[in-house]
Amino acid sequence: MFHIRTRGLLLDPSPGGSFAEDEEHMRLINRLAASPLERDQVYIRSMYLCSSQVCETDWRRFSDRALEQIRDKVVGESVLAGHDKRSLPVARFFKARIVERPEVPDPETGAPTRWVRAWFYWLKETQGARDLALNMDGGIYREVSISWRYRGGRCSLCGRAPRSCAHVPGEVLDGARCFIWIDEVVDVLEGSLVYRGADRETGIAGERHHGVSESGVDLERLLLFEAPLLVGEEARP
C-alpha cells in the first residue's frame, strides 16, 4: 500500500552544528552531490519526520523495526512542497537517526516517543533558497509529512492482518483502542513541507547558518494544497 500522513504541529529550532558535525554533514552531502560542495554553499536543517505514536488520522503505528527501515530508506530521497510530485525537489535528505523526545511523551505510558529525525540540505545560490530558510526559521513553514509504501500490517488487538478480523481501527474495545501496527516499510518516497502533518509534533528543527542575500520567490503558493490521505496501491517487492 501507498500511504501519506498529513497532520501534526511543531517548531523546534536548534543551534548550528559544531565543526565536527559540519565535517560529517558535508562528507554525507558530497556522497549525493555531482560536484563537491563546501559548507558555505548549502543550507542544512532537520525535521522530525515520523514517530512511534499512534497516528490518529489513520490509526496506524510504526513499530521500532519500521522506524529503523524509514531511517535507512529516507537518505537520498527528496524534500517536496505539499507532496507535489509534479514539481522538482526543494531539498534532499542526507542523514537520518532514531532519537527519543522526552518532551513528547507517549500518552499511554508517559515514556519518551521515538522519532526519525532526518537532516536535509539545499543550495544557497538557487532561486528562492533564502526565502525557504527564512520561512523555516521564522516558523511559517514548520510542519512535515512523509509519503511511504508498506506491506502487511497487523491488528493491535488480535495480531491478524487488517480487514481479516472484526476489529475497526480507531474503535475502543474493553478499554483498548484498535490500531494497525506497521512492521514493514517497503519504500520511503519523499518527505514534504505541508500546512498540517499527520503525526502529533512533527516539524522542522533548524541548524542556524545565515546565507547570502538573493532575490526571493514566494514558495508559499506551493504549500496551499494537500494530497489525499490514503491512496490504494500495491507495494512492489
Judge whether 150 lies within some domain. yes
The count of domains in the chain is: 1
CB-based contacts of 138: which residues, under 8 Å, 6+ apart?
none
- In which domain, by residue range, is 6 found? 2-231
* Residue 223 to residue 230: CA distance in whole angstroms: 19
pTM, to two decimals = 0.78
Output DSSP code: residue 11: B
> What is the C-alpha separation between 207 and 225, in angstroms, rounded?
27
What three-state secondary structure class fits 81?
A: strand
Interval 7-26: pLDDT, tens: 333 334 444 567 788 999 99
Does residue 237 sit within a domain? Answer: no
CB-CB contact of 25 with 94 (8 Å): yes
* Position 143 in a domain: yes
Q: Decide: 145 and 10 in contact? Cβ < 8 Å.
A: no
Q: What is the DSSP string of 91-110?
A: EEEEEEEEEEEEEEE-TTT-
Residue 168 has pLDDT above 90, yes or no: yes
In a domain, 107, yes or no: yes
Can you give the pLDDT at residue 211? 30
C-alpha cell at 121: 540540505
Residue 185's CB is within 10 A of a number of other CB atoms, namely 26
Instruction: Give Cα 188 distance to the centre of its chain.
Output: 10
Residue 70 lies in a domain: yes
Please state which of the ranges 93-107, 169-183, 215-229 shows the lowest mean pLDDT: 215-229
Is 236 contained in some domain? no
How many helical (H) and strand (E) elements, i.e. helices and strands, does the chain have? 3, 14
210 in a structural domain: yes
**230 pLDDT more than 50:** no
Tens-digit pLDDT profile for residues 112-147: 999 999 999 999 999 999 999 999 888 888 889 899
Q: Which residue has the cell 519523499?
A: 190
Residue 48 lies in a domain: yes
